[in-house]
Amino acid sequence: MIFLTMLIMGVVLGFAGTGGSGFIIGLLVALFLIPIHTALGTSIAAMVFTTLSGSISHLKEGNASLRTGLIVGLFGAGGAYGGTFISRGIEEQYLIWLTSGMLLLSGFLIWIRTRMKVSEEDAAAGREDIRKLGFWLSAGGTGVVTGLLSGVFGIGSTPFIQLGLLIFFGFSLRRAVGTTMIVIVPIALFGAIGFTQAGYLDGSLLLQVVAGTIIGSYIGAKFTKRAPRLLLRTAMIMTPVAGAVVMLIRH
């Protein structure tokens, strides 16, 4: 049951360029009655495998910038690890509400940003020059803030990362989707390390989640480049919103 659920979800996540941790958390808490802290640790650990698979696929499809993604992601790794210490001190009932609120905010921000006209011609060349201070300020700010959110709430902060890439780096929508997958890999890895140290990782559950999402994510990424912009935008918005709704229904 978990494998089939995660397989279907993985296709959606790979297509939308998301790590999907928020969606995974919602399903684990609502459908499988997993405690919230364990759900956070397990889901962010699963993101390592899901986004790694999706990143490879997006790179092959020409949807991502490897260098920018890794640099932003390394900044985010530090923020994610630190954020797990904050998350440990938040009681379960409050963490459910806070995580749900963050997911709803994520969907709203993506809706606002993607209503604006974003050229599909990539204008990022001048903003990816690592010799310029502006690049490092943008990469550091985007990475640390989104990493911190990931560590506290166990989510991939996908909409926030995508917004940063769209606004500060001038990426096209499709390139922002693909590069976000690369950014999430180190963020998820260090977030998983923090939750594991606190004892919030279920190895058996992790294997079941990963088995479904890693296959689905790779398949889903194949359709991003071919999808109409409206469909891609809708998937980006609805993924975090659906996770929040499912979690709140259970709560």
Q: pLDDT of 8-24, one tens digit each?
A: 777 776 666 555 667 77
**Model confidence pLDDT, tens digit, residues 175-227:** 888 899 899 999 999 999 999 999 998 888 898 888 887 787 777 777 766 66
Question: Does the pTM of the predicted model rise above 0.85?
Answer: no
Amino acid type, 1: M
Question: What are the backbone angles phi and psi of residue 144, rounded to the nearest 5°?
Answer: -65, -45
Encoded tokens for 74? 């390394």
Query: What is the spatial distance between Cα 99 and Cα 8, in angstroms, rounded to a whole number?
Result: 23
Total domains, the chain = 1
By CB neighbour count within 10 A (0-12 exposed, 13-18 middle, 19+ buried), where does 196 fall? middle
Listed in sequence order, the residues at least 6 apart from 88 whose beta carbon sits closer than 8 Å to its beta carbon are 37, 198, 200
> What confidence category does residue 126 fall into, taking pLDDT thresholds of 50, 70 and 90?
low
Domain of residue 21 covers 2-250
